Amino acid sequence: MKPFLTLAIWSLCSVAFAQVEAIIVAPDKALPGELVVLNSSKSKGDNHKWITPEGISTAQAGCTAIDSQVFFATPRAGSYTFYLIVSDKTAAIDYAKHTVVIGDSVINPPKPEPPPVTQPGDFAKLTQISRANSLALNDPKTRASLLASLKPVVAQLKSLCDSNQCPTLAAAQSRFIGTMEAVLLARPRGESRDANWEEVWRLPNAKFISDSKITSVTTGIAAYDAIVKGLE
């Protein structure tokens, strides 16, 4: 997967009922050497980012979340998975995953397991996800930097709420996400920069929070706290 490209669109938390929807329109199968086009024409949102698989050359066209396309053609049979991430100006996020099978080498690719059903405010599982996926990246420097930067942010948000000065949910999102993106952007080139924090760590966290349908800032802060605890 390609190295991280920091963009405002790649926000962590889809915690409000915003009109954001990521939809990939593309074929499921193609012949070796055939041109394959994936597009976002049915998506809803203000910004977007494509994550393309390694091992193939791709081209992209279009500047918005509803007119972008990815093109590729490869003689190599196999299964190729693409992600489309869409966000809006409130930091709400949605993503879609689509696999294209080239040739006959993969007749029935395995279907992904459905995400677990979560209960609002129950974030013990989120801590487990954050911990397991961050450790799996084998990038202790970035993991430590994220913990050192995000833990004070959560502490300050809690303190504001304790003193009846809670920020809005959108403001809390912006503070947490902005700090996270700053840490990832500051990574040096090399092994740390190449570690795929987007798909392995951030995407599962964002999906869990989105499924939790958070609407209050206090619950949102609890979710951020769970993510940080997974980095300890």
Dihedrals φ, ψ of 118, to 5°?
A: -115, 155
Distance CA 153, CA 158 (A): 9
pLDDT tens digits in sequence order for the chain, 232 residues long = 444 333 333 333 333 344 788 999 999 999 988 999 999 989 988 888 898 887 788 988 887 777 899 999 988 888 899 998 888 777 678 888 999 998 864 444 445 545 444 444 578 889 999 999 899 888 899 999 999 999 999 999 999 999 999 899 888 888 998 898 888 888 877 666 678 888 889 888 888 888 888 888 999 899 999 999 999 9
Q: At what angle do helices 140-162 and 217-229 cross, to 10 degrees?
A: 150
Distance CA 213, CA 132 (A): 23
Cα separations in angstroms, 70 against 51, 63, 67, 91, 196 = 10, 12, 10, 24, 20
